[in-house]
Amino acid sequence: MIRRALLLAACVLCGAAAAHPPARQASYADRPEVRAFIGRMVERYGFGAEALRKVFASARFAPGVLRAMRPPPRERPSWEAYRARFVGARRIDEGLEFWRANRSTLARAARVYGVPAEVIVAIIGVESHYGRSTGRWRVLDALSTLAFDEAPRAAYFRGELESYLLFAREAGLDVLAVRGSPAGAIGLPQFMPRTYREYAVDFDGDGRADLLDDAADAIGSVANFLQAHGWRRHEPADLDASVSGAAYRAYADGGVQPRYTLAQLARAGVAFRDPGLPEDTRAALLELGTPDEPSEYRLGLHNFYVLTRYNRSAFYAAAVSDLAKALRAAGGSRADGARARAARPWTRRAAAGLRAAARAPRPGSAAPARA
Which residue out of 80, 127, 162, 296 is catalytically annotated?
127
pLDDT at 25: 55
pLDDT at 72: 75
| 71 pLDDT above the threshold of 80 | no
Higher pLDDT, 274 or 142: 142
Task: Single out the residue of 51, 106, 336, 369 nearest to residue 220, CA to CA.
Answer: 106
| 40 pLDDT above the threshold of 60 | yes
CB-CB contact of 317 with 86 (8 Å) = no
Q: Which CATH superfamily is domain 32-70+136-228 in?
A: Bacterial muramidase (1.10.8.350)
d(CA 250, CA 247): 6
Mean pLDDT of 183-190: 98
d(CA 143, CA 181): 10
Mean pLDDT of 141-154: 93
pLDDT at 52: 98
Question: pLDDT band for position 26 (50/70/90)?
Answer: low
pLDDT at 362: 29
The torsion angles phi and psi of 283, rounded to 5 degrees, stand at -150, 160
Question: pLDDT band for position 332 (50/70/90)?
Answer: low
CB-CB contact of 163 with 37 (8 Å) = no
Type of residue numbered 109 = A
Q: Where are the domains of the chain?
A: 32-70+136-228
Q: Please write the tens of the pLDDT for every residue from 262-300.
A: 999 999 999 999 889 998 999 999 999 999 999 999 999
| 124 pLDDT above the threshold of 50 | yes
pLDDT at 341: 37
Question: pLDDT band for position 14 (50/70/90)?
Answer: very low
Q: What b/e string do you get for 274-310 counting C-beta neighbours within 10 Å, with b at 16 or more? A: eeebeeebbbbbbbbbbeebeebbbbbbbbbbbbbeb
Question: pLDDT band for position 75 (50/70/90)?
Answer: confident
**Mean pLDDT, all residues of the chain:** 86
Percentage of residues in the chain having pLDDT higher than 70: 82
| 358 pLDDT above the threshold of 70 | no
Mean pLDDT of 37-52: 98
| 43 pLDDT above the threshold of 80 | yes
Give the C-alpha distances (Å, rounded to integers) separating 209 from 70, 148, 216, 280.
Answer: 32, 29, 9, 40
| 165 pLDDT above the threshold of 50 | yes
| 343 pLDDT above the threshold of 50 | no
pLDDT at 152: 85
In the residue annotation, 170 being an active-site residue is answered as no
Give the C-alpha distances (Å, rounded to integers) separating 90 from 85, 95, 150.
Answer: 11, 8, 38
Mean pLDDT of 294-323: 97
pLDDT at 335: 55
pLDDT at 150: 78
Mean pLDDT of 85-114: 97
CB-CB contact of 234 with 119 (8 Å) = no
Q: What is the pTM for the complete model shown?
A: 0.83
Determine the Cα angle at 305 with ends 155 and 152, to 5°: 20
Mean pLDDT of 324-332: 91
